[in-house]
Chain A
Amino acid sequence: MEKNHYTDIRRFILINMILVPSIPFLIVIGIGYHQLSRSIESSTIASMERIVGDHRHMISSFLDERKNDLELIVNTVRFDELIRPERLSSVFTQLQLTSSAFSDLGIFDENGVHVAYHGPFNLTGKIYREEPWFQETIKNGVYISDVFLGFRNFPHFIIAVAGMGNDRPWIIRATVDSQRFTTLVRQVRIGKTGEAYLLNSQGVLQTNRRSGGELMEKPLDTIPTPPKGDDIHTLIHSREGEETFLYAGAWLKDQQWLLVVRQEKSDAFHALYDSWLPVGLISLIGGACIVWAAFTLTSAIVRKMEKTDTEKALLSQQLIGASRLAELGEMAAGFAHEINNPLQVINTELSLIRVLKDEMVEAGHLQKGESYEEIVDSMDQIKIQIDRCSKITRAILKFGRQEDGHFESLALDKIVPEIIDMVQKKAEINGIRIERRLPDTTIRVQADSARLQQVFLNLLNNAMDAIIEKSGSTGGSIRVSVRDGSNGMAAVNVSDSGAGIAPENMAKIFSPFFTTKPVGKGTGLGLSVCHGIIEQMGGKMVVSSKVGVGTKFTVELPAAQLKI
C-alpha cells in the first residue's frame, strides 16, 4: 500500500516532467522545421521560376531577332531583285554575318513556286502552294515552324515572312539551325538532376533531353499541360514507379512552345532532407535530456519524500509515545493520590484497634493466647500491607511527576563516585566489588542532581539485586565507568555480573509496572522512572544483557557546554 503510493507519485511526477517540457520542445522543433521547409521550398521554386523566365526570354529574343532579320530583308530588298541568284547569295552572306544559325534562304512567289534558293540543296522550281506553312504565312504574314529533322537530319526549323511586291505577295523563307537554343536550353543544370527542355503544343520534344528523350519524341512523363498565358507555372508530378519531379513551365512563341525545367524532388529539396539529420539529432538529444532530467529529479523528489515521511512517522510515533506516557503518568498520579486517602483512614483505624486492644487486655476483657497472637499478627500484616501500598503510590507519584527539575552543570566524575559511596556498604555486606573507571578529565553534564542520583542509585541497586539473585552471598562485581561519548554526549556504563535479563523481557524492561522481582519486592516503576528522567534530560538509556553473564546499562547525557 505504502509502496504503491510512492509508485503512483513517481509515475505522476515522471509523466508530468516528461510531458510538460516535451510539448513546447516538440512545438518549437515542429514550427522550426515547418518554417525551414517552407523557406527551402519557396526558394527552390523561386530559383526554378527564375531560370525558366530567363531562358524563355533568351529563346524568345533569339526567335524575334531571326524573324526581324527576315523582315528587314523583306522591307529593304525588292522581290525581283532577290530572285536574282547573286543578289540572294549576297543577302544570305549578309544574313549569316548577323547570325550563323541561318543555313539556307529561299524566295517563293504568290503561287508557292520556289523561285530562288540559296543553300546546300537544289530546291528551285518546287511548288509549295498546298503546304500548311505556306498558307499560314500568306495568312498571318509570318510563320515559325516546330523543330524537325527533315532530310537535312539535324534539328532545325523554318522562319517564313511574307512581303508585298507589285501588289503581289511573296515569301522569304529561311532554315534556322535550332542547335543554338538547344544548347542554351541544355546548358541549364540545377543540382544533380535539374534540366530544361522545350515541348511543342502537342507535347513533342523540341530539344534533346539530358535525362533521356530524343528530339521529336514524346517524353514518357507527360505532365498536365499548364494553362496558356505568360505566367510561370510550377507543379509537383510523379509517374508511377518513378521519382517525383518538381516542374516549372512557361509558354513562349505565341503559346506554341513550352519551356520546361524539372528537377527530382529529392534533389530539389535536398537541403531540407539534409536538415533531417541535425533536427533528428537535436530532437533525440533534447528528448533524452528531458527524460534523463525527469528520471533523476523524480527519484530525488521521491527519495526526499520518503525520507520526510519516514521522519514524520517516527516523530509522530515518538509524540504519541510521549503523550501516552504523560497521560499514563498523570492518571497514575491521580490514582495514587486517591488511594492515599483511604490508606490514611485504614492506618488510623488500625491505630485505634491497637489502642482499643491494649485497653481490653488491660481491662482483662481479652485473654492472651493463640487467638490473641493471631490477631496481633494479622494487625501487623495489615500495617505491612498499608506500607506496601504507600510505597507503590509514592513510586507512582514519582513516575507521574517528571515535568520539572532543576538543571545545573554537574561533574560526572565527582557525582558518580559519591553515589557509589552511598551503596558501598550494602555492596560490601553482600560481597560485591564495585569497580570504578573514571576519566582523568572532568566531564560535565547538564542535569538535575537529585534525579541523577535517583537514576544511578536505582541502577546500582538493580545490579546488586541481580548479583544476589545469581550468586547469593558469594558476591560478584559491578563496573561503573564514566567516559566521553560521541556527538557531545557523556556516557556512564553500569555493568554487573548478575543474572542477566531474559530476551523476552528486554522489550518490556522500561515499561511501567513491569517487574521480575517477587510480589511486594518491586513496584516495576524504577527503571521506567529512570528512563523517563534520562529522556527528559535529553539523554538516552540503553540496555544490553546476556542471561547468566550480566547486564550493562548505558546512560548517555548531553555534555554541558563549557562557559568561556
Chain B
Amino acid sequence: MEKLKLMIVDDEERFLTTTEKLLKKMGVDVVTASSGGEALEKLRAHTVHVVILDVKMPGMDGVATLKQIKRQFPMIEVIMLTGHGTLESAVEGLKTGAVDYLTKPADLDQILEKANDAFSRRKSIEERIRVARMRGLMKSPREILKNT
C-alpha cells in the first residue's frame, strides 16, 4: 500500500523544521518549502500526494500557488492553512480547488487527520480512474494501444 507523502509550504522556517521532525518521527514522508516558487520546484522533483499550503506568504501567496499546483499537478490534493480565523480565504481556496482548510494554530494531529482524509480521497479517485480504464481496456483493448 502506498504511503502518504506530504508537503508543507509556509514562510515560517521554524514551523517547517519542527513539523518535519515531528512528522518524520511519526513515519510520514515530508517535503518542506518556504515559498510558493520553491514548492512548485520541489513538486516537480518529488512525488507528493497532499500539500499543506499557507495562505499568507510573501511573494507568491497561497491562493496563487494553489492555482499553479492545480494547473500543473491536478492530482495533488491541497489543504489551505490560514492565519485568518475566517471563512473568506478558505472559501476562496476551496473555490479554486483546495480540498479542505485548517486554521492556525492547528494541532499536528489535526493536520495529519485532514491530510490522511485527502489522501484517501485521492486514492479513491485514482482507484475509480483505474477501474474505468480497466473497463475501457476490456471493452476495446485497441483503444489502449491508441492512447499509449
- Whether B86 sits at the interface, judged by CB under 8 Å, is yes
Are B106 and A351 in contact, with the CB atoms below 8 A?
Answer: no
Contact mask A333-348 → B, CB, 8 Å, 1/0? 1001110110111111
Q: Scan residues 381-409 of chain A and give those whose CB is less than 8 A from a CB of chain B.
A: 386, 389-390, 393-394, 397-398, 401, 404
The residues of B that contact A345 with a CB separation of less than 8 Å are 12, 14-15, 18
Contact mask A495-525 → B, CB, 8 Å, 1/0? 0000000000000000000000000000000
Are B88 and A401 in contact, with the CB atoms below 8 A?
Answer: yes
Are B19 and A348 in contact, with the CB atoms below 8 A?
Answer: yes
Q: How far is the CA of A386 from the CA of B84 in the complex (A)?
A: 16
- Whether B37 sits at the interface, judged by CB under 8 Å, is no
Q: A340-B83, A341-B83, A344-B106 are in contact. Are A351 and B12 (CB under 8 A)?
A: no
Most-contacted residue by chain A among B19, B84, B88 (CB, 10 A): B84
Q: How far is the CA of A351 from the CA of B105 in the complex (A)?
A: 12
Are A355 and B25 in contact, with the CB atoms below 8 A?
Answer: yes
Q: Which of A343, A344, A352, A394 contacts B22 (CB 8 A)?
A: A352
Are A344 and B18 in contact, with the CB atoms below 8 A?
Answer: no
Are A352 and B106 in contact, with the CB atoms below 8 A?
Answer: no
Q: A344-B106, A355-B25 are in contact. Are A336 and B85 (CB under 8 A)?
A: yes
Are B105 and A401 in contact, with the CB atoms below 8 A?
Answer: no
Query: Taking the nearest CB of chain B, how far is it from the CB of A43, in angstroms?
Result: 96
Contact mask B15-58 → A, CB, 8 Å, 1/0? 10011011001000000000000000000000000000000100
Q: Scan residues 53-109 of chain B and give those whose CB is less than 8 A from a CB of chain A.
A: 56, 83-86, 88, 103-108
Are B85 and A344 in contact, with the CB atoms below 8 A?
Answer: no
Q: How far is the CA of A96 from the CA of B21 in the complex (A)?
A: 167
Contact mask A342-379 → B, CB, 8 Å, 1/0? 01111111011001000000000000000000000000
Q: How far is the CA of A404 from the CA of B106 in the complex (A)?
A: 26
The residues of B that contact A352 with a CB separation of less than 8 Å are 18, 21-22
Are A398 and B14 in contact, with the CB atoms below 8 A?
Answer: no
Are B108 and A394 in contact, with the CB atoms below 8 A?
Answer: no
Q: How far is the CA of A347 from the CA of B22 in the complex (A)?
A: 12
The residues of A that contact B85 with a CB separation of less than 8 Å are 336, 340, 390, 393-394, 397-398
Helix, strand, loop or mixed for chain A's interface? helix
Query: Taking the nearest CB of chain B, how far is it from the CB of A329, in angstroms?
Result: 12
Q: Which of B14, B21, B56 contacts A337 (CB 8 A)?
A: B56
Query: Taking the nearest CB of chain B, how far is it from the CB of A260, in angstroms?
Result: 113
Are A344 and B12 in contact, with the CB atoms below 8 A?
Answer: yes
Q: A345-B12, A345-B18, A348-B18 are in contact. Are A397 and B86 (CB under 8 A)?
A: yes
Q: How far is the CA of A356 from the CA of B15 in the complex (A)?
A: 16
Are B84 and A337 in contact, with the CB atoms below 8 A?
Answer: yes
The residues of B that contact A398 with a CB separation of less than 8 Å are 85-86
Are B104 and A343 in contact, with the CB atoms below 8 A?
Answer: yes
Q: A344-B15, A345-B15, A401-B88 are in contact. Are A351 and B83 (CB under 8 A)?
A: no
The residues of B that contact A348 with a CB separation of less than 8 Å are 15, 18-19, 22, 108
Q: How far is the CA of A393 from the CA of B14 in the complex (A)?
A: 21
Q: How far is the CA of A341 from the CA of B86 in the complex (A)?
A: 15
Are A347 and B12 in contact, with the CB atoms below 8 A?
Answer: no
Are A346 and B56 in contact, with the CB atoms below 8 A?
Answer: no
Are B86 and A347 in contact, with the CB atoms below 8 A?
Answer: no
Query: Taking the nearest CB of chain A, how far is it from the CB of B58, in angstroms?
Result: 12
Query: Taking the nearest CB of chain A, how far is it from the CB of B91, in angstroms?
Result: 11
Q: A337-B56, A349-B18, A355-B22 are in contact. Are A343 and B105 (CB under 8 A)?
A: yes
Are B106 and A347 in contact, with the CB atoms below 8 A?
Answer: yes
Told that A340-B85, A351-B108, A386-B105 touch, could you supply 14 new A-B pairs with CB distance under 8 A? A333-B84, A340-B103, A340-B104, A344-B12, A344-B83, A345-B14, A345-B18, A346-B105, A348-B19, A351-B18, A352-B21, A352-B22, A355-B22, A404-B88
15 contacting pairs across A/B (C-beta < 8 A): A333-B84, A341-B15, A341-B83, A344-B83, A345-B15, A345-B18, A346-B105, A348-B15, A349-B18, A351-B18, A386-B105, A390-B85, A393-B85, A401-B88, A404-B88
Residues of chain B touching chain A, judged by Cβ–Cβ distance below 8 Å, are 12, 14-15, 18-19, 21-22, 25, 56, 83-86, 88, 103-108
The 3 closest A-B pairs by CB, nearest first: A394-B85, A343-B105, A340-B104
